[in-house]
Every structure is written in structure tokens, then in C-alpha cells.
Amino acid sequence: MRKKLAAGNWKMNGLKSNLGEVSALTQAHPSPACDVLLCPPATLIGAMAEAAGGKLAVGGQDCHMNESGAHTGDISAQMIADAGGSYVIVGHSERRADHHESDLIVRAKAEAAIGAGLIAVICVGETEAQRDGEQTLDVIGEQLAGSVPDGATAANCVIAYEPVWAIGTGRTPTLEQIAEVHDFMRNTLVARFADEGNGMRLLYGGSVKPSNAEEIFATSNVDGALVGGASLKASDFGAIIAAL
């Protein structure tokens, strides 16, 4: 049985003054039916973990593939764990685009995350041109093959399907399109990882909000959501948690 996961990605938003959202969330949802994760900017991981007091999980939005060294401005998976994080997002489409991260790099980051004891949330997703060109399943298959490490298990790895054209745009795929990709991902992961692939949680991400959460969560092989904009406010994210 896969436990559902509501994961929030604050992206480059949030100051210490916004940590009140965490206590508002844990007070409004003291015992959620699903796992809850918030990934703030690296500067807030420690303070958010403290504010959460174990009532929700905290994670990073990216990590370097190495444990330490001359990589100015980067942070390692071990540092995220040391600050109180238990998850890290890798391969978000904004990282793939802005920092030219290939599947090979994403896989190395996921390996580093797992090695540091974190759960890697590995993101995949097609661009609008790829969907229009009917390449979606080929792209997702290629990204899964390239980005998910051989050591991935149901316990150390979560996969997030995020169509690039749905992120921050207010547009979402149809439920049939989400089901098609999630069923495909499940079959692909089971073919490679057998039972572990069956246990891996598959999140949908891209313009999830309180008004569409329930129908998306009822879709085949959707085990939760990776939420950007609607994770910033406890009221919105709380409503999404309640829909899971």
C-alpha cells in the first residue's frame, strides 16, 4: 500500500517571516492522512525543520552530486540532512532548463541523495512541443531510464511527473492524459524494479490547486502531488492535503 504524499516546492520564495505558514499548517492539519513535505529555499531548511517539530517533513530543492568540495554556491545532500531535511527534489524542469542538467546529472544527484539517507524526488516531464509532437511517453521513458538510479527503491525514491507546460501556468493535462503517463511510469518502473517499482510513489505536479486536487488524486497511479504556487499559503496547501 503506497502512502500518499503532498509535497510543496517553495522555489525561490520565502523568508523567516513566512515560517508562520508552517505552524498554521500543522495546527490546521495535526494528523493528516498523507505524508506532508515542504521544500523551502536552502536558507530556510534548518529553521523550517525546527518550526515543523517533526509534524511534517522538510526537504531541499536540489543538491550537488558530490559530498563536499570546491563548488561555490552549491549544497550537498549531506548538508540538507544535517540541516534537518529528509527529502530532496532533483531534476526539476527549472533546474534542467536553467542549469542545463542532463539525465546523467540528475541520476548522480539522486544517487548522492540516497547515499546521504535522503528520499530523492526525481522529476520528469515533457515540454509543450514534445506533447504536441506526440513524444510524451518516449520522453518520459527516456528520462526515467536516464535519471532514476539502479539503487532506487520504494523507500528512497519518489517520482514526480510534471509536464513543463503545466508548471505555474494554470493549465493542466486532462485526467486521461495524467492517467496515461502515470500508468506508463508504473509499468516502466515495475519492469525495471519489480515490486519496488510497484511501491514507488508517483506524484503529479503542475498547477495543482485546491479546486482540482481531488479529481487529480483520484486518477490512476497518482499517489500525491508536487505543488509549487499553492504550497506557499497554509490555507491552499492545507486544502490540497485534505483532498488526499
Cell output for 158: 519518489
Check: CB of residue 204 under 8 Å from CB of residue 225. yes
128 binds ligand PEP (CB under 6 A): no
Residues in CB range of 20: below 8 A, 6 or more apart: none
Q: Is 229 annotated as a binding residue?
A: yes
The nearer residue to ligand PEP, 78 or 119, going by C-beta atoms, is 119
91 binds ligand PEP (CB under 6 A): no
Number of residue whose CB is nearest ligand PEP: 228
Residues in CB range of 92: below 8 A, 6 or more apart: 9, 61, 62, 123, 162
The yes-or-no answer on residue 92 being catalytic is yes
Q: Is 16 annotated as a binding residue?
A: no
Helix (H) or strand (E) holding 213: helix 210-217
CB of 195 to ligand PEP, least distance (A): 28
Residues in CB range of 168: below 8 A, 6 or more apart: 207, 228, 229
x/- mask, ligand PEP, residues 204-223, rule CB under 6 A, reads -xxxx---------------
CB atoms within 10 A of CB 195: 9
Check: CB of residue 163 under 8 Å from CB of residue 210. no
125 binds ligand PEP (CB under 6 A): no
Q: Is 146 annotated as a binding residue?
A: no
Number of residues in contact with ligand PEP under rule CB under 6 A: 13
Using CB under 6 A, pick the residue from 81, 121, 226, 234 that binds ligand PEP: 226
The yes-or-no answer on residue 162 being catalytic is yes
x/- mask, ligand PEP, residues 171-210, rule CB under 6 A, reads ----------------------------------xxxx--
Cell output for 28: 490546521
Binding site for ligand PEP (CB under 6 A): 9, 162, 167-168, 205-208, 226-230
Just list the catalytic residues: 92, 162
